[in-house]
C-alpha cells in the first residue's frame, strides 16, 4: 500500500458506482482537476487507516475470527455482489453514470480504483440511504 503514497503523482484514479439491481458498475465522469484531489484523499486515507497502523492484520477470509482491525483477503469464491470489482479491474470500457437516466437514490456502492500498470487497488464502500 505504501507504493501508492510513494507514487501518488503517477497513479490514476477512477470512480464507479454500483446501482441497485444492476451487476455492472458505471463510471462517474469527474473533471481531471477534481479527480486529483479525490485520488489524494483516498491515498491519504489508505496511509492513515492502514499503512501507519501497526495493529492491522491481513487475514484470509476463510480463517476469519473475532479479531478487530483486520483486512480480509478473499481466498474463497467471491459472492456475486462483489463481481463488480472484477469488472472494474478487467475492463476500462464502462457505461457512464448519467443523472438524467440513472437515479442517484439507486446507488448502493462506490468503487474507487487506484493504480498504474504495476499495481492497482480497488476500494469498495457501501452507501447508506439517507
Number of alpha carbons in the 13 Å side-chain half-sphere of residue 18: 24
pLDDT tens-digit map of 80-96: 888 888 888 888 889 99
Q: What value does the mean pLDDT take over residues 44-70?
A: 81
Contact, 4 vs 99, CB < 8 A?
A: no
Burial of 43: CB neighbours in 10 Å, binned 0-12, 13-18, 19+:
buried
Q: What is the pLDDT of residue 92?
A: 80
Domain hosting 121: range is 2-126
Distance CA(64)–CA(74), nearest Å, equals 10
Q: What is the pLDDT of residue 26?
A: 95
What's the pLDDT band for 15 if we cut at 50, 70, 90?
very high
What's the pLDDT band for 130 if we cut at 50, 70, 90?
low
What's the pLDDT band for 19 if we cut at 50, 70, 90?
very high
In the chain, what are the helix, strand and coil shares in percent, each to the nearest 5?
A: 30, 25, 40
Q: What value does the mean pLDDT take over residues 6-23?
A: 91
Domain count, the chain: 1
Amino acid at each position: 500500500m505504501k507504493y501508492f503514497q510513494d507514487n501518488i503523482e503517477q497513479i490514476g484514479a477512477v470512480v464507479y458506482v454500483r446501482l441497485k439491481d444492476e451487476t455492472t458498475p458505471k463510471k462517474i465522469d469527474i473533471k481531471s482537476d477534481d479527480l486529483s484531489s479525490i485520488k489524494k484523499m483516498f491515498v491519504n486515507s489508505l496511509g492513515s487507516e492502514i499503512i501507519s497502523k501497526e495493529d492491522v492484520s491481513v487475514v484470509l477470509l476463510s480463517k476469519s475470527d473475532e479479531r478487530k482491525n483486520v483486512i480480509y483477503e478473499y481466498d474463497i469464491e467471491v459472492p456475486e455482489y462483489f463481481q463488480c470489482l472484477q469488472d472494474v479491474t478487467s475492463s476500462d470500457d464502462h457505461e457512464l453514470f448519467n443523472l438524467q437516466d440513472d437515479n442517484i437514490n439507486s446507488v448502493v456502492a462506490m468503487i474507487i480504483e487506484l493504480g498504474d500498470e504495476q499495481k492497482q487497488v480497488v476500494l469498495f464502500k457501501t452507501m447508506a440511504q439517507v
